[in-house]
Homo-oligomer: A and B are copies of this chain.
Amino acid sequence: MDQAQARSWLAVAVAEARAGLAEGGIPIGAALFGADGTLLGRGHNRRVQDDDPSVHAETAAFRAAGRQRSYRGTTMVTTLSPCWYCSGLVRQFGISRVVIGEAVTFHGGHDWLAEHGVEIVLFDDADCVAMMREFIRERPELWHEDIGA
């Protein structure tokens, strides 16, 4: 895909991550875009805010998009490599593409998704890396809880 477009979509996910951080939450954000580029849903991790372990950034964006008959051509944009839970979501629903801010601080299931035909656009975004590095340093127990480590 067009790198400038991927960058502009990533900015939406980054804004979600920063909103989550400002709420005292885990700074991971995501957004789901339709095949025509429409923003279908956006969200961020809300483990802390809602006391809900099931709301990862990607599942929040997926939920916000509401019921869709098909995910063909859609793109999930996330600030961080998707964990197995969120990678499973992408595979099960046939989301076509995943744009990832970084996979330096956490390497999830995006290689597995690529093997199964999902297009992966992986950035090494310095702002995304710095945001997660700082969060993991300050709140390691919360980060480990969020990924079941």
Show the binding face of A for B, using Cβ within 8 Å: 47, 51-54, 59, 62-63, 65-71, 83-89, 91-94, 109, 145, 147-148
- Can you name 17 A-B pairs with beta carbons within 8 Å? A47-B67, A53-B63, A53-B67, A54-B59, A54-B62, A54-B63, A67-B145, A71-B148, A83-B88, A83-B92, A84-B88, A84-B91, A84-B92, A87-B88, A88-B89, A88-B91, A94-B148
How many copies of the chain does the oligomer comprise?
Answer: 2
Distance in angstroms from A131 CB to nearest chain B CB is 21
10 closest residue pairs by CB, A with B: A88-B88, A93-B148, A84-B92, A84-B88, A54-B63, A85-B92, A84-B91, A85-B88, A85-B89, A83-B92
